[in-house]
Amino acid sequence: MTDKAIFAAGCFWGIEDKFSTVKGVVETEVGYIGGKTKNPTYEEICRGDTFHAEAVRVFYNKEIITYDQLLDLFFEIHDPTTLNSQGPDFGTQYRSAIFCQNDFEMLSSENKIKELNRSKFNNKIVTTIELNDDFWIAEEYHQKYLKKKKFNFFIK
């Protein structure tokens, strides 16, 4: 049974690459979410005036991997304590966010943040939990970018 989840954690190339290697993840695609412009382009996103986040949509087999396990990976592969930035990238398009499509995902995300704030991050997580909005698929050249370019990309 396939479900989907959407995460933003900085530049979408590395995040997509990490999620795509996980057992139970069926497919990934990168795009833009959480902004005010319909069908935005990469150039518009980079200017920072659309307020979209670069994000990855993860299609997963929930009989193999759970939403909670995806959340664990999400928090492992980026720094959720930096506001609107990851590594050298700065701006709202690089924010840390979880885009939930239902109450289960919302509650799971809230509980995960509470748990990690207590156990690991000392109440410093700035990750937002947002309602799943229109997801605009990024231009083709962004899809599987690191695999196409054969980069050995390390995040966090």
Q: Is 100 a catalytic residue?
A: no
- Alpha-carbon distance 78 to 15, whole Å? 8
For β-strands 96-100 and 89-90, DSSP reports them as: unpaired
pLDDT, residue 102, reads 96
Q: Which residue has the tokens 């990168």?
A: 30
Q: How far is CA 103 from the centre of its chain?
A: 18
Per-position pLDDT tens, the chain of length 156: 899 999 999 999 899 999 999 999 999 999 999 999 999 999 999 998 899 999 999 999 999 999 999 999 999 999 999 999 988 889 999 999 999 999 999 999 999 999 999 999 999 999 999 998 899 999 888 888 777 776 555 544
What are the boundaries of each domain within the chain? 2-149
To 10 degrees, the CA torsion angle through 25, 46, 51, 146? Answer: 10
Angle between helices 103-116 and 67-76 in degrees, nearest 10: 40
pLDDT, residue 142, reads 84
| Domain spanning 2-149: CATH superfamily | Peptide methionine sulphoxide reductase MsrA (3.30.1060.10)
pLDDT, residue 17, reads 93
Q: Which of 5, 6, 9, 11 is catalytic?
A: 11
- Alpha-carbon distance 101 to 119, whole Å? 27
pLDDT, residue 7, reads 98
